[in-house]
Structure 1
Amino acid sequence: MAQDRSQLPAAQPELSSPNPLGKSDRAWTWGLSAALVVLAAVFFALTPPGLWNKLLAVGSAVCHQDPAHSFYVFGRQMPLCARCTGMYLGALLSLALHFRQGKLGGIPPRKVLIPLGLLFLLFALDGLNSLASSLGTSWNFYQTTNLTRLVTGTGAGLVIGAVLAPLFNQTAWAGWVKASALPNGKKLAVLLAAAAVIILVVYAGPQALRYPAAILSVLGVLVVLCLAYTTLALIILKRENIANSLRDLLLPLLVGLLAGSLQVAVFTFLRVWAF
């Protein structure tokens, strides 16, 4: 029986070695690890005490944190606004679904791409509508609410994960597979159903459940930044498509994590000093 070609690993150039962790890599690994520890220590020392304040500090690097556009947990403002909360929770969910299926790096078919495109379009339209309302213009089409921000933000997050995960897999792995993690409408429906649960929990669920949602949303910020910078690091370091295990990705992942953490720290401190 003929094997489905979409499940075959992508053709790769011949390599002279599988990229073992050499002396130079070990030195860089220790150096980057030390830099991460120092950066974390500085960040924790210079930001307000308490877990919630640390979450707010990280959130301030990527979000305006408008109190009127945010949800609250027992009277405390969540670290990200409604739109960003949905976006990073949606991205984390989408990335989890993709990476759970291994090294799949294929592009979804058109019947999946079109709904994903519509989700991102709704995100953009709701954002523009909200901006128009904030500026007091007369051309906003409807009253934007935290529910519309949460829903459209979550949809955009699903799209971010659906783009970032295949891009990472295509760049990182020697044996990435051409099949898509979203090959049909059924898989997309499962993803949308899980996203609906997240929306329900954040918008109408018990206050206690918003607490882990807040933590996961901030984790989503770090994961998205780390993966984006790691993908860029793989290209800059000319290490595309040579990794066979996570150990082979240790150095690029550390570069990505340090770059993402540095971005968060710089923008957090700039915001504190500027305002």
Structure 2
Amino acid sequence: MEHQDRQRTHQVYRNVRTNQTTALTPANGMPSPWLIGALAACYLFLLAALLWWPGATFLDRLRWLDSGICAQLPTHSLYPGGERLPLCSRNTGIYLGFIVTLIIIYARGRGKARALPAKALMLTLAGGIILLAIDGSNSFLVDLGLPHLYQPHNLLRLATGLLTGFAMGVFVLPVINEMLWQHSNEQRSLPSWKALIWFLPALLLCFMAAASQNQLVLYPLAILSSLGLLSAVGSVNLIFMVLLRHRDQSFTRYVELLPLCGFALLAASGELLVLAQFKVLLFQTLSIHL
């Protein structure tokens, strides 16, 4: 009797999840074309506004979008071609490293990897995060005029940020995949030490491009780092949306994720804009000059 009750409970749970799935997708698992079309139109409108709305420049709008997350201190920023990047050196490194790492993982066919790296690799990646914490603490002490270990430098901020962004991508993707996908996938996001050959040259290229402060890298760095920030915030939104809709471990194809990912990124844009406005109001209240 107890076994039959348990089976009925599982069946009810599956039915509920199926009903929730069909709210956004037809019976074949494909998202509604109308929903995809509406999301695409919304994104095209936002992109057009970002590029051509009268007033501020494209870079100014990216700076505004990112300002709720980043302090954007002029002395902590890089200036390719004489233009300040939307994010400070450390955050440029973090979110540039994050998005580049995700791109490489997906390009290598490990986009559904659900296993973390081996323990030795995890400790090494954690070391990069610790370096950022040490450098950030030292920089904070300098800003406060307190005793510190060494004089901060924007290139050091950039380097520790890139290492942290790399670690974020390697650690976060398996956690999200474990929550999303129905079928087991034992692939590791970073399978071995040898696999570093795919990531380290790309991260070094990012570092050299930003360090050169050449005008040619201004827009690629600004766009990629801002996309990295949107992806990081959108990933958190996606986790909450999946949990709230009880859709964990129910997806089998990327196309099924389109509606949730679309809403997660839209929400991320709205959240960043709200944070930016809140920062302005807070600074005005405290009489702090932006």
TM-score, scaled to structure 2? 0.80
Could you tell me which amino acid in structure 2 is paired with residue 103 of structure 1?
K
Could you tell me which amino acid in structure 2 is paired with residue 251 of structure 1?
P
Where does residue 119 of structure 1 map in the other structure?
Answer: 128
Distance in 2 between the 1:215 and 1:34 partners? 19
Distance in 2 between the 1:270 and 1:199 partners? 32
Indicate the SS of the match to 1:183.
coil
Could you tell me which amino acid in structure 2 is paired with residue 129 of structure 1?
N
Maintained 8 Å contact 1:82/1:150: yes
Distance in 1 between the 2:58 and 2:89 partners? 20
Maintained 8 Å contact 1:59/1:79: yes
Maintained 8 Å contact 2:79/2:213: no
Distance in 1 between the 2:121 and 2:186 partners? 16
Residue-by-residue CA offset, 1:72-114 (whole Å, 9 max, x unaligned): 1222211010001000100001111223323111011012111
Distance in 2 between the 1:47 and 1:60 partners? 20
Maintained 8 Å contact 2:36/2:258: no
Distance in 2 between the 1:260 and 1:148 partners? 29
Distance in 1 between the 2:174 and 2:111 partners? 10
> Aligned to 1:227, which of 225, 232, 235?
235
Could you tell me which amino acid in structure 1 is paired with residue 73 of structure 2?
D
Where does residue 169 of structure 1 map in the other structure?
Answer: 177
> Aligned to 1:69, which of 76, 80, 94?
76
Where does residue 192 of structure 1 map in the other structure?
Answer: 200
Instruction: Say whether residues 1:133 and 2:142 are aligned partners.
Output: yes
Distance in 1 between the 2:98 and 2:188 partners? 17
Maintained 8 Å contact 2:80/2:212: no
Where does residue 152 of structure 2 map in the other structure?
Answer: 144
Change (3 A) 1:85 1:174: same
Instruction: Say whether residues 1:50 and 2:54 are aligned partners.
Output: no
Change (3 A) 1:30 1:99: closer
Percent identity (aligned): 28
Could you tell me which amino acid in structure 1 is paired with residue 176 of structure 2?
F
Where does residue 105 of structure 1 map in the other structure?
Answer: 114
> Aligned to 2:91, which of 71, 84, 91?
84
Maintained 8 Å contact 1:105/1:177: yes
TM-score, scaled to structure 1? 0.84
Change (3 A) 1:185 1:37: closer
Distance in 2 between the 1:30 and 1:177 partners? 28
Structure 1 window deviating more from structure 2 (150-159 vs 263-272): it is 263-272
- The alpha-carbon deviation at position 251 of structure 1 amounts to 2.9
Distance in 2 between the 1:39 and 1:27 partners? 18
Aligned residues: 261
Distance in 1 between the 2:54 and 2:129 partners? 34
Distance in 2 between the 1:30 and 1:60 partners? 30
Where does residue 221 of structure 2 map in the other structure?
Answer: 213
- The alpha-carbon deviation at position 204 of structure 1 amounts to 2.1
Maintained 8 Å contact 1:72/1:78: yes
Q: RMSD of the alignment, in Å? A: 3.1
- The alpha-carbon deviation at position 229 of structure 1 amounts to 1.1
Residue-by-residue CA offset, 1:13-42 (whole Å, 9 max, x unaligned): 99666945049x85994798499569949x
Residue-by-residue CA offset, 1:179-207 (whole Å, 9 max, x unaligned): 20211111124312221111011002633
Indicate the SS of the match to 2:104.
helix
Task: Return 5+ residue gaps in structure 1 as ranges.
Answer: 1-12
Maintained 8 Å contact 2:92/2:225: yes
